[in-house]
Structure 1
Amino acid sequence: MIKKVLLLCLFLGTYTWAQGLALEKRIGQMLMVGFHGTHASKESQICKDIETYNLGAVILFDYNPVDKTKPKNIASKEQLARLTQDLQACSSDGKLLIAVDQEGGKVQRLKRRYGFYGQFPKASDVTKMDQNSIKETYTKMSEELSSVGINYDLAPVVDLDINRKNHVIHGLGRSFGKDPEVVAAYASAFIDAMHSHGVLTSIKHFPGHGSSVGDTHKGFVDVTNLWQEVELEPYRLLKEKADTVMVAHVFNQKIDATYPASLSYKTITKLLRWKLGYHGVVITDDLQMGAISQKYGLKNTLRLAINAGDDILLIGNQLDPKKTVTTQTLVETISSLVQSGEVTEEHINRAYKRIQGLKKRL
C-alpha cells in the first residue's frame, strides 16, 4: 500500500512539475529543428529559440540547400565543436539534443573534406567484417561524434533488405540484411558503441522501409502490397535497448487505411507501443518530406503527429529552402491546437516526460 502511495505521489509530482512549466516550453521540448548557421552567438535566432521556447533538439547538416558554396552547419572539426558548445550554452539544462544522420556509407554528415574520418562503411559492408572490427569501427564513429559535441545519432537502420528494387535502402547498402535477428545483432553492436561515448541513437524506419520501392523524401510511398510482418521483428527484439524509434512516412493499408505511419495512431500507439511493447521516445522522420508536405498542411501534420503518439517532431528545414518553418510558428501552431482542444495537454505532458527520461541517459 505504501509503495502504491509513493508511486502515485511520484507520478503526481512529475505531472505537477510539468504543469508548472509554461505550455510553450513543454511544446518546445518536442521539437527538433534544422537551422542555417555555422555559429550560434547569444544574438543568433537559434540561440534565442532555444532560450525562449526551451527547444529540445536541433539537427545539423553539412549540405546547404540555399547556397551550395557555403556550409549549412558543418565546415570543420573546430568549428563544429564550437557550434555545439555554443548551442548547449543557450539551453537551460545543457542537455540539448544535437543530432546528425551518421550511418556510414553514403549517409555520413561528418565528411573527410571537413577534416573528419569520413570513410565509415555502409551497413552491407559491415556485415563482411569480424566482431572486433565492427566494434572498433562503430566505437571510432561514436568517439568522433562525441568529440565535436554530437550527442544523438539518427541511426542505425534496422530495415530488412527484402526488396532488391528498393533504391533508398537496398540500393545504398543501408541494411544489415534480411534476417531480423542478424539485423538486430548488428544494430545492437552499433548502439553499444554509441553508448560507450555517451551518444544516443534512433533505430529506423518503423514499421519497415526495406520492402518499399519509392522514396518518401520525394512523395507518397505505398508499401501495402510489399510490406511483410517480419519487418516489425527488429523493433520487438530491440525494444528495451533502443533509445528512440524513428517512424517512416510509408503508407500501409494493412496497418492504417487512412494515414501514413508517422501520422498514424494505429501504427505508433496501437502497434509500436501496445502490441510490440515499446515505451520510449518516438521521433518522426522529417515532416517536410514530400510524402507528408504534399498532402498535409503544417497544422494538420502537427495535430496528427502528436495525437498519433509521436514525441519528437522533426522539421529539418533542409529539403525546400522556400519552406523554412520557424520555431515560433511551430510552437504557436501547437499551442493553438491545445487551446482549441484538437490536441490535449495530456499528450504534450506525456511526450515531455518521455523526453526528460531520454535526456537522463546523456
Structure 2
Amino acid sequence: MHQKTIHSILFIALLTTLSFGIQGCANSSSEEKPSLEKQIGQMLIIGFRGTEINENHSIYKDIQERNIGGVVLYEYDVPSRSRPRNISSPEELKELSRRLQKASPFPLFIALDQEGGRVNRLKESYGFPPTVSAQYLGDLNDAETTQFWADKSAATLSDMGVNVNFAPVVDVNVNPDCPVIGKIERSFSQSPELVFRHSEIFTETYKKKNIIAALKHFPGHGSSKEDSHYGFTDITETWKTEELYPYLLHFMNDFDGMIMTAHTFNAHLDPDYPATLSHSTMTGILRKRLGWEGVIVSDDMMMGAITDHYGMETAIEKAILAGVDMLIFSNNSPADYNPDIAKEAIEIIKRLVEENRISKERIALSYERISALKNRYLW
C-alpha cells in the first residue's frame, strides 16, 4: 500500500474516537482494596543508591512500609558522578533483584532503560552481552536481525530479574539532529511504519518473557531541538501528527504494556503545560482519542523540564490529574540525592486527596490499572 494512503487511513483513525477498549484496561474487581496510602505507594517508581540492600536501607523501607509500585535501576550515579550505582555485574544485579522482590508484599516492578546502543544500563564492560542501537536496526531493516537482538535483550533482562524495560523508543526520527533522540541513534527510523515494525518485534519478544515494555516518549520527542533532561523543550513548530502513528499501530495490535510520557511542550496540544502534566494530551489524546486504557508512566519527574518550572507538589498534582498513573522519581538527576523522596511524594498526594484537589476515585483508578498490569505479567 502506498505510504500516503497508509498515512491517510491512520489520520482518519486518529480523528475518530475508537469505539473499542485497548488491551491493558483496568478490570473492575470486588476484591477489597488496600488503604489509600498503600494505593498511592503503588503509583511510585523510585530510584536509589546501592548494589546491595538490607532492612535499614531507605528503599527497603519504601517497599515494605510504603508499598511503592516499583524501583528504577541505573549503572551511573549522576549527583556524585560515579559508578556503580545499582549495577556492577550480572551476578550482583540478579541478587539485588531477588532481594528487592523478596522485600515487597506485592510483585514489584524492577525497571531500567535498556534500549541498546548509547542508552544501555547493562554494559558489556560489566559482563553483559553487547547491544546495538535502534537506528542500526532500522537502517538495516531486517526482521530476522531485529528478532535476534530482541531475543538477546529479553533473555538478559529475564535472567537478571528485571520485569519492566522502559523501551522500545517509538519516537519517529523527525529531526536527526535532535540531541536526545536522533543524534544518539535512539529512533528506529523517520518512517512511522518502520518504527512500529521493529519496535513490535521487541514488545512481542518481551511479552513472551513476561517483561513489560514501555513505549516512549508520548506524544513524540523525535522532532525536538532541545533535551528535556536539562530544561524546557518546545516542539510546537516541529511536532508532526505522524509521531502518533506508532502508538496507534501498537494499540491496534493489542499492545498491553505501559506508555511513557514526554516532558515536551506543544502549544497546539496544550497552551499551558508540557505533555506529562497535560490533561488534553494524556487524557484527551492518549486515552480518549487513541483509546489507551492501560498504565501511563511519567518520564522522570526530576528532569529539568519539570523541576525548572514546577514545584514538586504542582508537578505531582498536574500529572495525576492529566491521567498519569505512575510517577518516576529517579533520584538520579544533578539535584541532591534524596532518600526520603518516596515518603515526601506520598505525603503530598495524601494531602492533595485530603484537600479534595485529587479524588480518592482517581487514585483508585490508577491503582486498578497498575494491579491489572501486575496480574497479567508478574503473578
| Band the TM-score falls in, shorter-chain normalisation | over 0.9
Aligned length in residues: 347
Tell me which moved more, 59-68 or 47-56. Answer: 59-68
Distance in 1 of aligned mates of 2:83 and 2:118:
20
Residue of structure 2 in register with 1:333 after alignment? 348
* C-alpha contact 1:139 1:196 (8 A) present in aligned 2: no
- Tell me by how many angstroms 1:195 deviates: 1.6
Distance in 1 of aligned mates of 2:281 and 2:376:
26
Compute the TM-score of the two structures, normalised by the length of structure 2.
0.89
In structure 2, the CA distance between the partners of 1:265 and 1:69, relative to structure 1 (3 Å rule), is closer
Cα RMSD after superposing both structures? 1.3
Match status 1:145 vs 2:162: no
Match status 1:231 vs 2:234: no
* C-alpha contact 1:203 1:242 (8 A) present in aligned 2: no
Residue of structure 1 in register with 2:287 after alignment? 273
Say which of 209, 221, 224 aligns to 1:209: 221
Distance in 2 of aligned mates of 1:67 and 1:255:
37
Say which of 128, 135, 150 aligns to 1:124: 135
* C-alpha contact 2:329 2:341 (8 A) present in aligned 1: no
* C-alpha contact 1:269 1:309 (8 A) present in aligned 2: yes
Q: Give the secondary-structure state (helix, strand or coil) at the position aligned to 1:98.
A: strand
- Tell me by how many angstroms 1:192 deviates: 1.3
Match status 1:302 vs 2:316: yes
Residue of structure 2 in register with 1:34 after alignment? 47
Q: Give the secondary-structure state (helix, strand or coil) at the position aligned to 1:322.
A: coil
Residue of structure 1 in register with 2:5 after alignment? none
- Tell me by how many angstroms 1:222 deviates: 0.7
- Tell me by how many angstroms 1:69 deviates: 4.5
* C-alpha contact 1:160 1:180 (8 A) present in aligned 2: yes
Residue of structure 1 in register with 2:7 after alignment? none
Task: For structure 2, list consecutive stretches of 5 or more residues without a partner in the other structure.
Answer: 1-26
Distance in 2 of aligned mates of 1:67 and 1:211:
31
Task: For structure 1, list consecutive stretches of 5 or more residues without a partner in the other structure.
Answer: 1-9
In structure 2, the CA distance between the partners of 1:204 and 1:12, relative to structure 1 (3 Å rule), is closer
Compute the TM-score of the two structures, normalised by the length of structure 1.
0.93
* C-alpha contact 1:202 1:242 (8 A) present in aligned 2: no
Distance in 2 of aligned mates of 1:304 and 1:233:
26
Identical positions, percent: 39
AA aligned to 1:61 is Y
* C-alpha contact 2:299 2:328 (8 A) present in aligned 1: yes
**CA-to-partner distance for each residue in 1:22-71, whole Å, 9 max, x for gaps?**
11100000000100111121232211110111110100000022444441
Distance in 2 of aligned mates of 1:289 and 1:297:
12
AA aligned to 2:143 is Q
Q: Give the secondary-structure state (helix, strand or coil) at the position aligned to 1:305.
A: helix
**Of the two structures, which has the highest relative contact order with CA contacts closer than 8 Å and spacing of 6 or more?**
2
Q: Give the secondary-structure state (helix, strand or coil) at the position aligned to 1:283.
A: strand
- Tell me by how many angstroms 1:326 deviates: 1.9
- Tell me by how many angstroms 1:321 deviates: 4.2
Aligned pairs for 1:1-362 within 5 A: 11=28, 13-14=30-31, 17-18=32-33, 21-93=34-106, 95-117=107-129, 119-127=130-138, 128=140, 130-239=142-251, 240-322=254-336, 324=338, 326-362=341-377
- Tell me by how many angstroms 1:199 deviates: 0.9
- Tell me by how many angstroms 1:182 deviates: 1.6
Q: Give the secondary-structure state (helix, strand or coil) at the position aligned to 1:13.
A: coil
AA aligned to 1:173 is E
AA aligned to 1:189 is I
Distance in 2 of aligned mates of 1:185 and 1:26:
36
Tell me which moved more, 334-343 or 131-140. Answer: 131-140
- Tell me by how many angstroms 1:129 deviates: 5.1
AA aligned to 1:13 is S
Distance in 2 of aligned mates of 1:338 and 1:235:
32
